[in-house]
Amino acid sequence: MEDRVLIRRIKKGDKAAFEELVVKHYENIFAYCFRRTGSRQDAEDLTQEVFLKLVKAVYKYQSTGKFSNFIFTIAVNCCNDFLRRQVRQNEREAAGDASGELTGNVMPVEQGAEEKAIIREDSRVLYRRLAGLNDTQREALILHYFHGFRAREIAAMTGVPLATAKSRIRQGMEHLRRQYTDEGEEEL
Question: Averaged over 98-114, what is the pLDDT?
Answer: 43
Q: Which CATH architecture has domain 1-100?
A: Orthogonal Bundle (1.10)
Q: Write down the pLDDT at residue 111.
A: 45
Q: What is the pLDDT of residue 77?
A: 95
- 0.75 exceeded by pTM: no
Q: Contact 102/142 with Cβ under 8 angstroms?
A: no
How far is the C-alpha of 142 from the C-alpha of 58, rounded, in Å?
Answer: 24
Q: How far apart are CA 87 and CA 83, in angstroms?
A: 6
pLDDT in tens, 37-83: 888 999 999 999 999 999 989 888 887 778 999 999 999 999 999 99
pLDDT of 177? 86
Least confident residue range of 93-107, 113-127, 169-183? 93-107
How do residues 135-168 score in pLDDT, each as one tens digit?
A: 999 999 999 988 999 999 999 999 999 999 999 9
